[in-house]
Amino acid sequence: MTDVKTELRRRALARRDLVTHAEAHDAALAVARRGLALVDELSARTGLETPVVSVYWPIRSELNTRPLIEALARKGYRVVLPVMHKVRHPLVFRDFAPGDDLVKGPFGLSEPAEDKPARDPDVIFSPLAAFDRKGFRLGYGGGIYDATLAQLRPKKPVTVVGLAYSCQEADHVPTEPHDERLDYLMTERELIIPA
């Protein structure tokens, strides 16, 4: 199973790395519009006026989420960024507003400082390496989002949206018992509701 996942991850990330600057820019704007519309819809459906929305800070060739963060903040939603402490351990989510300084975390990621309040999100926009239309994601191999969702979902309703370029789609993502299914997948082209 590990070899299959490793190869699928390698191929999907290689395709993602080929996305041009112009394509990445257009994708970020499309996802910001689509992501804001989805949060608006979820907010109306659940009755949460100001849901807590987690959005990852992009690294490497990940789909750029900064326009989405700015759109959510402008609309008055509470934005949090994930903070990673250990592999295979749940994330902590800390407040973030555009313009806030970020610090380098223990794994080299840009994260809110420890003095920012921690909150459990209602909506999580998750990065990924590959996805399929059944709602399964292949992450980077650390098991962090699976551990996070396994801890959060029993405590409260949380909607999880995988963000990726359409070129990262796979016919089938191999799964294991601990793999958590996503509620939605969003690309520059469409919002996918898993079958």
24-55: pLDDT as tens digits: 999 999 999 999 999 999 999 999 989 999 99
CB 102 within 8 A of CB 93: no
Question: What pLDDT sits at residue 157?
Answer: 95
Beta carbons within 8 Å of 9's beta carbon, 6+ residues apart: 129, 130, 138, 140, 141
What is the DSSP code (8-state) at residue 75? Answer: T
Using one digit for the tens of pLDDT, what is the confidence trace for 96-115? Answer: 999 999 999 888 889 999 99
Structure confidence at residue 1 (pLDDT):
56
Instruction: Give the integer Cα–Cα distance in Å for 122 and 25.
Output: 27
- The DSSP call for residue 98 is T
3-state DSSP assignment of residue 145? helix
pTM over 0.85: yes
**CA dihedral of 121, 125, 130, 132, whole degrees rounded to 10:** 80
> What pLDDT, on the 0 to 100 scale, is given for residue 127?
97
